[in-house]
Amino acid sequence: MKKRIVTCCIIALCLIFAVVGFVCLPRKNTAPPVASGQTTYKSTEQSDAKRSKTPDTSENRRLVDYLHNMLMGEPQQTWETKKSLQQAGEELLDLYKEKEHSVPVFSGYLDVLGKTWGCIFQGNGWTDICLVTDTDAVRKVAICHMTTQEMQDVIAQG
């Protein structure tokens, strides 16, 4: 039982790191390509601005800890089902498919034994982390919902 809890914690942390990485990574530059023969120069102001966007590891740690506590401790939604792990995962995917502006970021098995499955969905200003774990008798489903504002508040609490 203790191994299963440790495995679930590790998997939850992997999901949380995926969400944090997706949210904190800088966006690609969408400037039009430079025509051949033209020279471009980067200003030091632009370099300084990019450096200031580099995520602070202590901020990431606070967010990861917060998400871990929410998912493993007190997720917003939980339920148990006697359906198979695959069926429970399909139901979650169908649930989010019906939501407007819901984009899948990740879905798949999170352990080698195939007893834990997870998915991450993002929408306009929100992220949901879903986890389905297979116990002997039932499958447990947990959903952690977080808004962009909540993430910013957690980071600012420093």
Q: Is 32 among the domain residues?
A: no
Q: What is the pLDDT of residue 75?
A: 78
What letters, b where the CB count within 10 A reaches 16 and e where it falls short, cover 103-127?
eebbeebbbeeebbbbbbbbeeebb
Residue 52 lies in a domain: no
Structural domain boundaries, residue 97:
2-25+57-156
Residue 127 is predicted with a pLDDT of 92
The answer as to whether 40 is a domain residue is: no
Does residue 112 lie in a domain region? yes
In a domain? residue 44: no
What pTM was computed for the model? 0.60
Domain assignment of residue 47, yes or no? no
pLDDT at 121: 94
- pLDDT for res 41: 43
Angle at 73 between CA 70 and CA 79, to 5 degrees: 90
Instruction: Establish if 50 belongs to a structural domain.
Output: no
Domain count, the chain: 1
Within a domain: 6: yes
Q: What is the DSSP string of the chain?
A: -HHHHHHHHHHHHHHHHHHHHHHHSPPPP-PPPPPTT------HHHHHHHHHTSPPHHHHHHHHHHHHIIIII--SEEEEESS-HHHHHHHHHHHHHHSTT-EEEEEEE-STTS-EEEEEEEETTEEEEEEEEE-SS-EEEEEEEEEHHHHHHHHHT-
The CATH number that applies at residue 139 is 3.30.310
Q: So what's the pLDDT on residue 34?
A: 47
Mean pLDDT (10-residue bins), the chain, 158 residues: 62 64 52 48 48 61 78 82 93 90 91 90 92 90 90 81
